[in-house]
Amino acid sequence: MSCATGPRTAPGAAPWWKGATVYQVYLRSFQDSDGDGVGDLPGIVQRLPHIASLGVDAIWLSPFFRSPMADFGYDVADHCDVDPVFGTLADFDRLLDRAHALGLRVIIDQVYCHTSDQHPWFRESRQSQTGPKADWFVWADPKPDGSPPNNWQSVFGGPAWTWDARRRQYYLHNFLKEQPQLNGHNPEVEAALLGIARFWLARGVDGFRLDAINFAMHAPGLKDNPPAPPGGPRTRPVDYQEQRFNRSHPGITGFLERLRAVCDAHGAIFTVAEVVGADPVAEMKAFTAGDRRLSSAYGFAFLHAGRLTPGLVAETLGAWPGAPGEGWPSWAFSNHDAPRWVSRWAPPGCAGPFARMAQTLLFCLRGNVFLYQGEELGLSQADVPFEQLRDPEAIANWPLTLGRDGARTPMPWQKAHPGLGFTSGTPWLPFGATHAALAADVQEASPGSHLRLTRRLVALRRAHPALRLGDVRCTVAGERLLVLCREAAEERLVCRFNISESAVDAPCGGVPIWAVNGADGGGRLPPFGADIVGG
């Protein structure tokens, strides 16, 4: 099987972040250093050698800013300070220094769409319709009958409007009522947000992940959202409408250009957008087009997929052909907002071989790789009983959605330790029932472990320009067989995947450089077999 010829990528011209592997740390569940059951910044410092041993390029930290924790840090009360549960600014500086000493870049979350209702900005805004910050959030008068201004629905359930008696108006919140929506159209708000970016850039961070950034601006006319077309799961009121007017305003790209200019003034800063929605590709491309906007963007093509199929991979990669001026995508199979892919995709009894095949696939995609903590161990989704749920979305929609807690349970570091090496206290969420057997110390001692496999895959991607930076062509996307061709400069690689429990014919010729589950570069791939062959 051969690759068609086409344009070549020049590896030497690429910035550090292009084709990078980024390790996501969900702070609350990574490592607790003080016994309160919640992960913290000193705990990350303790485990940085583990992350560095994977060979990844950077770490991405979930929010650690001051917060009432209604949404566990995504409701920010002070963008420029550390919440005491996680440590101090001095702890963050130590983390930054240690990470850099280990060759790791540090990317932090920035939440620019909303704040906490305890943020000083909102406290001032809600006092009066004429005060200095009166227009810093999205306020609207009620309809004549006292009902909300329009039909917009919150992602977490119920109307996206909450009445405030102080102003005798409604305020907008696309998520929790404790997360009032910033008015991204206000130049003073934009200036304040860019000031926050400058604060963290001055401390030495290497990049920003922009949370749900397509919610940063609304349509000022406050028109009703239209009904959603039939089909698709509907477990929340928001699923019944197209979110046409409460997000995705064209003005967002102008803000991103101004943010990019701030970042460029501080060097090679990586910026990646989280784009939420049923059809995010157009916005992902708009946010990353040319050289004046963001470095990259990721959507939920894989994060929300109930099955991994060759067709899904072909369609997703096909939307990013590498046309002139096109941005650079990023891919994640799991994160803190989505159930772990081993549980979503692996057939019963096949978790081990499926995980080896799927992990290989992740590192063969064109774009950046986002590796969520625990993926290097092959962790499955934990089953968290209702009485132990902490996620407000899971509680509100139980039992119709899996929620996010099952992907946020603490990391298992030591099998024999009472707190699995995560804490000396009571963990904020229970451990996954199967996670002790997959603890890092167990896998460190096993040459054939998923942890060892992940390290080899990171090294493989680093060693081969075709995998890190090359073009991609999907040459086969059948019911069970997926074949990708990766090319860069003079290197051509054929990446083959059998996404099924039965052997499949896959004619090929070349020199095998990688194989799992019994694949050997031959003409037949065993169940869940995957290999990479030099062309």
Query: Catalytic residue numbers?
Result: 211, 274
Contacts of 196 (CB under 8 A, 6+ apart): 79, 80, 110
DSSP letters spanning 140-193: EPPPTTS--SS--B-TTSSBSEEEETTTTEEEE-SS-TTSPBB-TT-HHHHHHH
Q: Is 244 exposed, middle or buried (0-12, 13-18, 19+ CB in 10 A)?
A: middle
Other C-beta atoms closer than 10 Å to the C-beta of 326 total 14
Distance from C-alpha of 149 to C-alpha of 170, rounded to nearest angstrom: 8
* Neighbour order of strands in the sheet with 481-488: 471-477, 481-488, 491-498, 530-534, 511-516
Q: To which H or E segment does residue 347 belong?
A: none
Distance from C-alpha of 68 to C-alpha of 151, rounded to nearest angstrom: 28
Report the helix count and the strand count for the chain, using DSSP H and E. Answer: 13, 20
Distance from C-alpha of 340 to C-alpha of 404, rounded to nearest angstrom: 10
DSSP for residue 108? E
Read off the tokens for 27.
Answer: 């702070």
CA dihedral 88→94→98→99, nearest 10 degrees, is 40
Distance from C-alpha of 295 to C-alpha of 488, rounded to nearest angstrom: 20
Read off the tokens for 8.
Answer: 């070549």
Side-chain half-sphere exposure of 526, counting CA atoms within 13 A = 10
Read off the tokens for 119.
Answer: 């943020």
Spell 427-464 as b/e; 16+ CB within 10 A means b. Answer: bbbbbbeebeebbbebbeeeeebbbebbbebbebbbeb
Nearest to 371 by CA among 37, 55, 94: 55
Q: Is the peptide bond before 230 cis (omega within 30 degrees of 0)?
A: no
